[in-house]
């Protein structure tokens, strides 16, 4: 017997058992056979309700379904700013700012803090700004920033959503764009590209292996040789 035949046999058995205990049909039902059909249909509907019930773990989080009996330690807030201050080169690579320029930016932002509501108060302003700059420059995932700074993924998202708007409000007045007339006056410097107003080009120049300087600052894993970089505009 297949599953359908087994189900139908169970329903018939339940029907006959229930028929012995059921009350006689009410007067408005034409005959007993019609009453039995209604009774069987009702039992079938109840059976479908039992079959389509959700699994026992329907209210368990997805992470608990994947990792059973997970014992996860709570996150501990990390002072990433204090760590990177001792490594200024990595500080510049990650944030695009030197330690001095970063501190000046924090001073500018600190004047607007009373007007902005941040997330958790135990995260310093320097770490909030640093987290946002790393996200803007490197674009890592929220999970990676969560583990680096010791914050939950939800708090990382709230912090970034607040901070990037504040950074735009503080830094946008510092950028002065040329007017339309000034852009138009820059056209025509190249015959092949008459509408080009500006260009930036970077080039890598192969050099000998440094003896005194740290080699890691000059070695290019992309080009597989030591080089220095120039930028022309």
From residue 130, give the alpha-carbon distance in Å to each of 94, 95, 148, 225. 9, 7, 12, 32
Q: Are residues 84 and 114 in the same domain?
A: yes
The pLDDT-based confidence of 116 (bands split at 50, 70, 90) is very low
Indicate whether 56 and 11 sit together in one domain. yes
One domain for residues 11 and 35 = yes
Instruction: Inform me whether the pLDDT recorded for 62 exceeds 90.
Output: no
Name 196's Cβ contacts closer than 8 Å, sequence gap at least 6.
Answer: 187, 189, 190
**Sheet of 225-232, strand order:** 201-206, 225-232, 219-220
Asked if residue 43 and residue 11 are part of one domain, the reply reads yes
Whose CA is closest to 209, among 226, 224, 229?
A: 226
**Could you tell me if 149 and 103 lie in one domain?**
yes
Q: How many domains does the chain have?
A: 3
Percent of the chain with pLDDT over 70: 67
User: What sections of 29-124 are H helices per DSSP?
Assistant: 32-51, 62-66, 80-85, 88-95, 99-110
pLDDT-based confidence at residue 213 (cuts at 50, 70, 90): confident
Same domain, 129 and 147: yes
Beta partners for residue 219, in sequence order: 226
**Residue predicted with more confidence, 186 or 136:** 136
State which residues form the domain around 30: 1-72
Instruction: Say if residue 121's pLDDT is above 50.
Output: no
Both 166 and 95 in a single domain? yes
For residues 68 and 86, membership in a common domain is answered with no
The pLDDT of residue 17:
63
Q: Distance between CA 221 and CA 45 in Å, rounded?
A: 67
Domain boundary among the residues 48, 72, 96 is at 72
pTM of the model: 0.59
Instruction: State whether 128 and 197 are in the same domain.
Output: no
Average pLDDT score over residue span 22-50: 61
Identify which of 101-105, 166-170, 183-187, 221-225 has the greatest average pLDDT.
101-105
Instruction: Using the 3D structure, point to which of 152, 174, 196 is the last residue of a domain.
Output: 174
Instruction: Say yes or no: 31 and 52 in one domain.
Output: yes
Q: Tell me how far apart the alpha carbons of residues 226 and 209 are, in angstroms, rounded to a whole number.
A: 6
């Amino acid at each position: 017997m297949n599953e359908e035949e087994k189900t139908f046999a169970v329903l018939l058995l339940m029907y006959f058992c229930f028929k012995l205990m059921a009350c006689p049909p009410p007067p408005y039902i034409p005959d007993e056979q019609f009453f039995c059909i209604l009774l069987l249909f009702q039992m079938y509907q109840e059976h479908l309700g039992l079959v389509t019930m959700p699994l026992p773990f329907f209210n368990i989080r997805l992470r608990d379904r994947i990792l059973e009996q997970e014992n996860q330690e709570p996150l501990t807030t990390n002072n990433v700013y204090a760590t990177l201050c001792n490594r200024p080169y990595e500080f510049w690579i990650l944030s695009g700012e030197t330690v001095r320029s970063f501190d000046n930016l924090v001073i500018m932002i600190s004047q607007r803090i009373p007007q902005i509501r941040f997330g958790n108060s135990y995260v310093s302003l320097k770490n909030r700004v640093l987290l946002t700059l790393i996200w803007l420059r490197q674009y890592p995932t929220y999970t990676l920033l969560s583990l680096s700074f010791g914050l939950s993924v939800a708090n990382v998202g709230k912090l970034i959503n607040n901070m990037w708007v504040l950074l735009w409000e503080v830094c946008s007045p510092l950028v002065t764009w040329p007017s339309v007339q000034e852009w138009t006056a820059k056209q025509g410097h190249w015959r092949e590209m008459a509408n080009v107003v500006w260009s930036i080009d970077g080039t890598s120049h192969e050099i000998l292996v440094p003896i005194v300087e740290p080699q890691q600052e000059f070695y290019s894993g992309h080009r597989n040789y030591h080089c220095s970089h120039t930028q022309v505009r």
